[in-house]
Amino acid sequence: MWEQVGQVSRERFEQLVAQAGELVEQVTRSQLELGDMALEIEPIQAPDDARPASGVEVFTLVSVIAMFAYKSLQKSGRGISLVWVGCCVSSRCG
């Protein structure tokens, strides 16, 4: 059995693996919850679903999800993430 893994003891390595597993679970739960929120904002629709009357402001799916991401990240103070969202959306839309 190993006494050391890299620069840490076997025991510390196992602690880090457990912590990493917990973080992965948190991220996965968060991603699923964010997806549920996005679907509440803009449910999946069949292509032939009725569209709003002319003159009513209509947002595209990409713009709605981008707005949701932008506002969510803005509240968390993640400035770099905001730049990424902006770049991602502008490259898709423009």
Number of domain units in the chain: 2
Kind and range of the H or E element at 8?
strand 8-9
Kind and range of the H or E element at 2?
none
pTM of the predicted model over 0.85: no
Q: What's the pLDDT at 26? A: 92
Q: Is residue 50 part of a domain?
A: no
Q: What's the pLDDT at 62? A: 74
Angle between helices 79-93 and 61-76 (to 10 degrees): 170
- Do 34 and 66 lie in one domain? The reply is no
Supply the range of the domain harboring residue 1. Answer: 1-45
Q: How far apart are CA 16 and CA 13, in angstroms?
A: 5
Q: Which residues contact 5 (CB under 8 A, 6 or more apart)?
A: 13
Check if the beta carbon of residue 8 is closer than 8 Å to that of residue 16: yes
- Do 59 and 41 lie in one domain? The reply is no
Q: What's the pLDDT at 66? A: 78
Per-residue pLDDT tens over the stretch 22-73: 999 999 998 888 888 888 887 776 666 666 666 656 667 777 777 777 777 7
Confidence of residue 16 (pLDDT cuts 50, 70, 90): very high
